[in-house]
Chains A and B, each alone.
Chain A
Amino acid sequence: MKLMDTGERKHFELRLRKQYGVENPFEDLVLLAAGRGRVRATTKEALEVAKKLRRVQQAGVYIAKISKEDVILSIEGSQVLNGKITKSVLDLDEESAEKWMRAEVLEVRGKYEGKYVVGKCGDLYLGSGRITRDGKLYPQVAKWRRIPVE
């Protein structure tokens, strides 16, 4: 387990502000660099406890992947941030949310600034999806989190 250094954390938070309009994203949480741009979040207390233990595999939850200049939020990442995401939110009805969770390609209308949006159905955030120039949306749902297709 490796703590994200201050520079990396600043860069990450800056991206979050630009991409998703998030201010003060994680307050008291500790961010961990989990390799290949992946970020995990946990509490200070959990980190203190982890220091005492042996054979620690991981702590907290996986919240995002930083890919070049973009931040791709996991389902839990978007839920940790929930109320704070003010930009690039795509409201989904129940049917599109189901499609999102099957990682089906969706069509989007309207303009979005960046390459990524966050899917939201009611009060439920579902992580990031990638938008292409021709208005297609690819939900970035990990395979093991997808609703199985019959």
Chain B
Amino acid sequence: MSNLMMSGDFRECLSRIPDLDPELFLESCKRPLPEGFRINTIKSSEENVLKRLRQKGFVFEKIPWARYGYILRDGGELGKTLEHMAGLIYLQGPVSMAPVEVLDPKPGEIVLDLCAAPGSKSTQIAQLLENMGVLVANDVNHERIKALSSNLQRFGVINCVITLTDGRKYPRFARGFFDKVLIDVPCSSLGIISKNWGIAKSWSLGMVERLSRIQYQLLEAGFNCLKPGGVLVYSTCTLTVEENELVIDRLLKNYKNAKLEDIRLPSLKSRNGVVEWSGRRLNPDLEKAVRIMPYDNWAEGFFIAKIIKEVGGNEVNGYR
């Protein structure tokens, strides 16, 4: 990527990302992202679908950190196959499968995906629910909700409800209602620049600040919708501390019953969340969160934090 294609703010921002190797980062921006896909076990068995794909000449590899997940190595365009159109597979980046694995939905649970469109993670949640329990998939964007609805249809998700509303309003009617909540927020998308170089050009610090505010509001809303004892996963496909650790740090300060948990993702290269940044000390538990650089696995960059809502305890610390 030439210097001309980055805004000044963007260059400045890269220098503020902890532990970032700029050379490797720029290299990762030039490489195409690997094509991942998941087998839809709601519709067929994993073996059957793999057999069909092999017969058609597709070559792929199992993703160690995601059940039913594979990386395509050769064979053509999966998006134009009968298997894709009939809903036997879902195309999704390999690292993008990690947040739902961390959430680990179990059959029978009631799960909220607050920022769900176009539905990659919703369909993944649905498959782990095995048709038992309920998936609630929400988004605020009317156009994107159409894609969400199509994808849930194609995937054959019977036990789902789609809502169209600002996620920040959810606690007004669903406070303490869900066993699990996924907050996959809108973000500055630094982890997927190779998909869209426009991100680097239109970058601004103001945008990051704006996003950070809405990300906190969505996280707080999601946390308030959790049952005591429930689990929340917060994820972004970006690397700035403002959109990741600072957002979580604020929740931990405001809610005593919010606790970070360790994350285990086999074979996925990652590093700990930062606990000190720009002269600020953050909650030391933030090292339990994971940051994934795009060059760690030559795939998408992500940030993932897993939060438990402890049973009992005082909700708000009282200084917001």
Residues of A within 8 A of B (CB): 29, 41-43, 45-46, 49-50, 52-62, 75-76, 79-80, 97-98, 101, 122-124, 126, 144-148
The 3 closest A-B pairs by CB, nearest first: A55-B165, A57-B162, A50-B161
| B44 pairs with A55, CB closer than 8 A | no
- Which residues of the partner chain B approach A46 to less than 8 Å between Cβ atoms? 134, 158-161
| A55 pairs with B153, CB closer than 8 A | no
B65 interface residue per 8 A CB criterion: no
| A49 pairs with B88, CB closer than 8 A | no
Residues of B within 8 A of A (CB): 43-44, 48, 80-82, 85-88, 110, 131, 133-134, 136, 145, 149-150, 152-154, 156-165, 169, 172-174, 177
| B173 pairs with A54, CB closer than 8 A | yes
Determine how close the nearest CB of chain B comes to the CB of A64; give it in whole angstroms.
13
Cα distance A101–B87 when bound, in Å?
12
| A53 pairs with B159, CB closer than 8 A | no
Name the contact of A57 in the complex, choosing from B43, B80, B149, B169 (C-beta under 8 A): B149
| B160 pairs with A59, CB closer than 8 A | yes
The listed residue with most B CB atoms (<10 A of its CB), out of A53, A56, A126, is A53
- Name the CB-closest residue of A to B108: A45
A-B contacts, 29 of them at CB < 8 A, read A42-B160, A43-B131, A45-B159, A46-B134, A46-B158, A49-B136, A52-B173, A53-B136, A54-B163, A54-B165, A55-B165, A56-B163, A57-B162, A58-B161, A58-B162, A60-B157, A60-B158, A61-B156, A61-B157, A75-B86, A76-B153, A76-B154, A76-B156, A79-B43, A80-B156, A80-B158, A97-B82, A98-B82, A147-B80
